[in-house]
Amino acid sequence: MGNRAEENSVVENSVEENSVEENSTEGKLSLLSLDELWELFPIFLTEHKDEWSGWFEEEKLALECVLPMERTARIAHVGSTAIRSIWAKPIVDILVEMTPEGGMEEFRSSILQAGYTLMSKNESRMSFNKGYTGAGFAERVFHLHLRKSGDHHELYFRDYMREHPEAAGEYEALKLKLWRQYEHDRDAYTENKSELVNKYTAIARTEYKGRYDGE
């Protein structure tokens, strides 16, 4: 799930955004405290699995059946499961980027139809998840990041990690260290990665200038 603001929004979004009944999975999760949610859905990492790319491709096909594809600029596999050389949480991150003509609410409705739960939103971004159950993680778990055109820094970071093994090894070592420290604190786990992620994203944007957004 997301950071503290996103986790706390489980209660609000499960009821108000998705009109979830109290006895549904989302409704039951909405009744849990943040600490209880983190206990049920801890941070855990595993060696890279080739099947993750297959999970993405299958989910991409499912999304293409419900999204307004004429206003969809990109559906991309991002995050650590898209980097073959490193350990990762077995959660597939998907970036959905709209064209300038796309509307957040139109896409929100389509993504909910695909079985996702809205976790957080602002004027330019929405975050969804799929595979969080009352018994813990499902076999396949997805995080979907809905963005407006040009908001795709994850692509640069992903490519840099794929093409620079030393940097990927540094990132992996940090993730493994933070896993041990913050297994039940996703905020701290994410926050303590941010400096490294931001550093290499900035380097990648320079090295790969124009790769994705015609800079």
Distance CA 21, CA 44 (A): 30
DSSP-derived secondary structure letter, 103:
-
Residue 29: what pLDDT?
77
Q: pLDDT higher for 154 or 27?
A: 154
AA letter at 35: D
Domains identified in the chain and CATH numbers: 4-207 (3.30.460.10)
Torsion (CA) 101, 107, 108, 112 in degrees, nearest 10: 180
Predicted confidence (pLDDT) per residue in 171-199, tens digit: 999 999 999 999 999 999 999 999 999 99
117-121 sheet: strands from edge to edge: 72-78, 92-98, 136-147, 125-133, 117-121
| Per-residue pLDDT at 6 exceeds 60 | no
| Per-residue pLDDT at 10 exceeds 60 | no
Residue 93: what pLDDT?
98
Residue 36: what pLDDT?
86
Band of residue 50 on the pLDDT scale cut at 50, 70, 90: very high
Residue 95: what pLDDT?
98
Q: Are 129 and 113 in contact (CB under 8 A)?
A: no
SS3 assignment, position 91? coil
Distance CA 39, CA 153 (A): 30
Q: Are 117 and 130 in contact (CB under 8 A)?
A: yes
**How is residue 164 written in tokens?**
């620079």
Residue 170: what pLDDT?
98
Band of residue 1 on the pLDDT scale cut at 50, 70, 90: low
Torsion (CA) 96, 32, 192, 202 in degrees, nearest 10: 10
| Per-residue pLDDT at 113 exceeds 50 | yes
Instruction: Look at strands 136-147 and 92-98 and give their pairing.
Output: parallel
Prediction pTM value? 0.86
Residue 38: what pLDDT?
79
Residue 28: what pLDDT?
75
Residue 25: what pLDDT?
66
